[in-house]
């Protein structure tokens, strides 16, 4: 997005007027949003609402990595995709909708699988990382990479009727391993495929993540640092749980045992 | 009374709310604290809403004058970023 020293185009003034009016945002805040670069993992249930709202907000560059293709069973919750894009790579299906929503935003579609070998190269040019993945190996990989690369991370998860959101600021607050040091054994926690998920739930959790990201960009308000927000949809209950930084954390503690990414995250232990 | 010389002038005649305030706010954001913005407008509602919103945002409204049958001039001093 071009600002010519703080000047917006007439269309941009109209498009972002409800942001500009806010005392916490204004033209300066909108310019900060426009110069932000975020890296999103997953174009699924969480990634769709996250990227939809961040694109609407005018975030300068959004990279989305996902190696999957759109399946009919995704459409109950993955709102960027449609009946017409079944079979298409998710990142391409998402990119088309996001480009149509806001041509100011540069969308980088990466059809690839995130690995310990490629993640640090991917995230190094981005300000904030957002995890919208649906599995534990990726969640631990992303956490470790963000701690090692010192990148703020918004992490979200959903299952059945319950969702979780947290914001990790390496060096300041907790990380995912402070909360859950090791991955649960395979099969212990059901996946969305096995457990099901009510379609609106990732919309709620994803939009909470998008809000956290915008606050990080603007430097306004309090983010979910040292805090896990748990949403129980059946009881309509939001609960905040305090998560102190663990000084013995294997990746962000005082004497970390994980000082480089593990060679594989597929096993439930670190096989560095 | 001493005449106030504005540091910046904008002509937003023809604009309606909320763009009257959006344009005024963008203009004042780029000014230094203590400087005065002159806003020339002809949308009647904005002659009330701009002063109110500017005050809500912590700026000082120095004057609101109807200068002819259709136009107003508002002078605002920037008090804070």
3-class DSSP assignment, residue A165: strand
User: In this complex, do B29 and A14 lie within 8 Å of one another by their Cβ atoms?
Assistant: no
Using 50, 70 and 90 to split pLDDT, how confident is the model at B47? very high
Position B60 confidence tier, pLDDT thresholds 50, 70, 90: very high
The whole-number average pLDDT for the span B7-16 is 96
Determine the residue among B8, B25, B28 to mutate to test chain A binding: the one whose Cβ has the most chain A Cβ atoms within 10 Å: B25
Task: Name the token pair of A6.
Answer: 């703080």
* Active site amino acids of B: 17
DSSP characters for A93-157?
HHHHHHHHH-TTSEEEEE-S---TTTHHHHHTT-SEEEE--SSHHHHHHHHHHHHHHT--EEEEE
Segments making up each domain of chain A, as ranges: 14-242
Nearest-neighbour CA in chain A from B65: distance (Å) = 24
* Cα–Cα nearest to A215, from A32, A51, A14, A60: A32
Closest CA–CA distance from residue A223 to any residue of chain B (Å): 23
Digits of tens for pLDDT over chain A (272 positions)?
Answer: 444 445 799 999 999 999 999 999 999 999 999 999 999 999 999 999 999 999 999 999 999 999 999 999 999 999 999 999 999 999 999 999 999 999 999 999 999 999 999 999 999 999 999 999 999 999 999 999 999 999 999 999 999 999 999 999 999 999 999 999 888 877 777 766 677 999 999 999 999 999 999 999 999 999 999 999 999 999 999 999 999 999 999 999 999 999 999 888 876 544 43
With beta carbons under 8 A apart, name residues in chain A contacting B18: 17-18, 21
Interface check for A23 against chain B (CB to CB < 8 A): the answer is: yes
- CATH 3.40.50.2300 for domain A14-242, yes or no, is no
Q: Which residues pair with B72 in a beta bridge?
A: B41, B66
What is the spatial distance between Cα A13 and Cα B1, in angstroms, rounded to a whole number? 37
Neighboring chain A residues of B10 at a CB cutoff of 8 Å: none
Give the residue on B whose Cα is nearest the Cα of A7.
B26
Q: Which residues of A touch B57 (CB under 8 A)?
A: 23
Pick the CATH number of B8-77 from 1.10.150.390, 3.40.50.300, 3.40.50.620, 3.30.110.40: 3.30.110.40
Among B14, B29, B52, pick the best mutation site for testing chain A contact (most A Cβ within 10 A).
B29
Domain boundaries, chain B: 8-77
What confidence score (pLDDT) does residue A4 get?
40
Q: Which residues of A touch B19 (CB under 8 A)?
A: 13-14, 17
pLDDT of amino acid A193: 67
Q: Number of CB pairs < 8 Å for A and B?
A: 31
């Amino acid at each position: 997005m071009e600002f010519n020293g703080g000047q917006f185009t007439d269309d941009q003034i109209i498009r972002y007027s409800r942001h500009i009016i806010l005392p916490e945002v204004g033209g300066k805040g909108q310019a900060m949003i426009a110069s932000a670069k975020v890296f999103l993992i997953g174009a699924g249930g969480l990634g769709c609402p996250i990227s939809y709202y961040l694109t609407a907000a005018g975030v300068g560059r959004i990279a989305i990595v996902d190696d999957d293709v759109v399946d009919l069973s995704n459409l109950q919750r993955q709102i960027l995709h449609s009946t017409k894009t079944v079979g298409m790579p998710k990142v391409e299906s998402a990119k088309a909708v996001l480009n149509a929503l806001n041509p100011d935003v540069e969308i980088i579609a990466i059809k690839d699988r995130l690995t310990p070998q490629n993640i640090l190269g991917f995230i190094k040019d981005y300000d904030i990382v957002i995890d919208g993945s649906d599995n534990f190996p990726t969640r631990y990989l992303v956490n470790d990479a963000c701690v090692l690369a010192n990148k703020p991370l918004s992490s979200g998860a959903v299952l059945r009727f319950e969702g979780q959101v947290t914001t990790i600021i390496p060096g300041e607050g907790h990380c995912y391993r402070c909360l859950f040091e090791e991955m649960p054994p395979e099969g212990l926690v059901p996946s969305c495929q096995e457990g099901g998920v009510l379609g609106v739930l990732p919309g709620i959790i994803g939009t909470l993540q998008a809000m956290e990201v915008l606050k990080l960009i603007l430097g306004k308000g309090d983010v979910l640092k040292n805090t896990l927000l748990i949403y129980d949809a059946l009881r309509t209950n939001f609960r905040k749980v305090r998560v102190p930084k663990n000084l013995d954390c294997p990746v962000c503690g005082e004497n970390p045992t994980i000082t480089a990414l593990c060679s594989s995250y597929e096993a439930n232990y670190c096989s560095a | 009374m001493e005449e106030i010389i504005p540091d910046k002038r904008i002509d937003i005649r023809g604009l309606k709310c909320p763009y009257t305030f959006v344009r005024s706010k963008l203009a004042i954001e780029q000014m230094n604290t203590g400087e005065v913005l002159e806003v020339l407008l002809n949308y009647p509602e904005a002659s009330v809403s701009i002063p109110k919103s500017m005050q809500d945002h912590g700026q000082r409204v120095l004057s609101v004058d109807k200068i002819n049958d259709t136009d107003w001039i508002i002078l605002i001093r920037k008090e804070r970023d």
